[in-house]
Amino acid sequence: MLEVVERAVREPGPGEVRLAVRAAAVNPTDIGLRERGDDSVEPPWVPGMDAAGVVESVGPDVERLAPGDDVMAAVTPRRPEGGAQAGLLVVPAASVVPVPDGATLEQAATLPMNGLTALLGLEQLDLREGDWLAVSGGAGLLASYAIPLAKEAGLRVLADARSEDEELVRGFGADVVLPRGDGYPGAIRRRVPDGVAGFLDTALLGPAAFPALRDGGALAAVRAWRGGEAERGIRIEQVWVRTVLDRTGWLDRLRTLAARGVLRLRVAATYPPEQAAEAHRLMEAGGLRGRALVVF
């Protein structure tokens, strides 16, 4: 159940900023928090990992940001103060950067968490220039960031898509677009007979992705891995974005690439806080081409 509540919000301390949030994205992880809560945090639980808004105040040692700045931020909701779907938000300054040039606050709110997830997944796969990377869920927001980031790193990319999304996914930079569905891993193997070096599994295929990978390849799982032992020396990398929310340099890189148009910022729909449940339902239904936002 989702409801709007009033809570006091403290002043920022050292190394922190307080934001007046204008937009907060709804992501799959928010559905899990809503459904299961978090035993390590007292309720009410506040979901959200992406926010964009205006700096309201800064801690005594913060010099890089100033009141009035338009910024975007990444935050974990699994903390006593909760996550990004709040009108006021205190967050580490390291997790905050200016919005991309030319982007609205709503657009900027789609970028931080998924952009960091894509960068972390690619770092953990540790592929070499010229290697083949397969991405599942090619039309989704995470894949839409991962594909151009992989191309920037010199990788060759295969992705999946429904027929109506094929041109969209090609526009992200995929070298090869194959039909979405159970046959995707096999189709990859037919296209790359030795198997791909890495697989970024944004669609949660799990062990079903193994046939696409070469012996000793690597699979990046964006949720907790429950697929058991891998075969043929395949390496499983669990991508925990909460470990990199304070990588300011990565956030700045995402901002720059978005400003250049390399990363496309896609807003699917916007809802006021009183209709946040609708945003969550839209996310849960799947098939979004962008993110639903809670706007304040």
- pLDDT tens over the chain, length 296 residues: 788 989 899 999 999 999 999 999 999 988 888 878 888 888 889 999 999 999 999 999 999 999 999 999 999 999 999 999 999 999 999 999 999 999 999 999 999 999 999 999 999 999 999 999 999 999 999 999 999 999 999 999 999 999 999 999 999 999 999 999 999 999 999 999 999 999 999 999 999 999 999 999 999 999 999 999 999 999 999 999 999 999 999 999 999 999 999 999 999 999 999 999 999 999 888 888 899 999 99
Rounded CA separation 119/149 (Å): 7
Q: What is the CATH number of domain 16-111+265-295?
A: 3.90.180.10
Q: What is the pLDDT of residue 159?
A: 98
So what CATH class is 114-242? alpha beta
Q: What is the pLDDT of residue 100?
A: 98
Residue type, 144: S
DSSP string over 111-157: SHHHHHHHHHHHHHHTPPTT-EEEEESTTSHHHHHHHHHHHHTT-EE
The two tokens of residue 274 are 């009183």
Q: What is the pLDDT of residue 59?
A: 98
Q: What is the pLDDT of residue 172?
A: 98
Rounded CA separation 62/4 (Å): 31
Residue type, 147: I
pTM of the model: 0.96
Q: Where are the domains of the chain?
A: 16-111+265-295, 114-242
DSSP string over 40-91: TSPSSP---SEEEEEEEEE-TT--S--TT-EEEEE--SSSTT--SSSSEEEE
Q: 61: burial class by Cβ within 10 Å (0-12, 13-18, 19+)?
A: exposed
> Rounded to the nearest 10 degrees, what angle do helices 248-259 and 112-125 cross at?
110
Q: What is the pLDDT of residue 237?
A: 98
C-alpha radius of gyration, the chain, whole number: 19
Q: What is the pLDDT of residue 15?
A: 98
Q: What is the pLDDT of residue 261?
A: 98
